[in-house]
Amino acid sequence: MLLITSAKYSSADFTLEFGKIVPSFLPLGNKRLYEYQAKLSKEKVVLSLPNNFKVNRCDLEKLEKLNIKLIFVEPNLSLGESILYCINALNINGNLSILHGDTFFSNLDLKEDSLCVSAVRENYEWAYLDKEFNI
């Protein structure tokens, strides 16, 4: 299963540009980011959203066509708490890949027990890892 974590609203810099929006709904070209993210996995895809986020009809149709299941989460939870909530609510017992909602990859080779990192090209509020994978 691929869990796309997008249960918090985007930062102020994106809000100024696009309004109050969650990361996976950001526009990329003429599509939403989640449309690209869903194609990275052949397994079931679940997208977490804040429970007060209103999904419009057009997006609901796209999400259904892409076979993306939605799970709604309290927006005040930390990322770790949000992921744990999703794992428990979805009763996940098998493989789980996690993709953060603001992440774009054109392709991704998901391997078991792995972590993918990438170089930052733009100024954005990213977490940085040292060589020992400490934040």
pLDDT of residue 70: 98
Give the three-class secondary structure for 69.
Answer: strand
**Residues near 129 by beta carbon (within 8 Å), at least 6 away in sequence:** 117, 135
E runs forming strands in 33-106: 45-50, 68-73, 97-100
Task: Look at residues 45, 65, 49 and name the one whose alpha carbon lies nearest to residue 57.
Answer: 65
For the chain, what are the domain ranges? 2-100
pLDDT averaged over 10-residue windows placed end to end, the chain, 135 residues: 88 70 90 93 93 96 97 93 94 88 81 72 59 65
pTM above 0.85, yes or no: no
- Cβ atoms of 37 and 24 within 8 Å: the answer is yes
- Name the β-bridge partners of 49: 72
Per the listing, tokens 């990361």 go with: 23
Q: Specify the CATH number for 2-100; select among 3.40.720, 3.40.50, 3.90.1150, 2.60.40.
A: 3.40.50
**Residues near 101 by beta carbon (within 8 Å), at least 6 away in sequence:** 4, 5, 6, 7, 22, 23, 24, 33, 34, 37, 47, 48
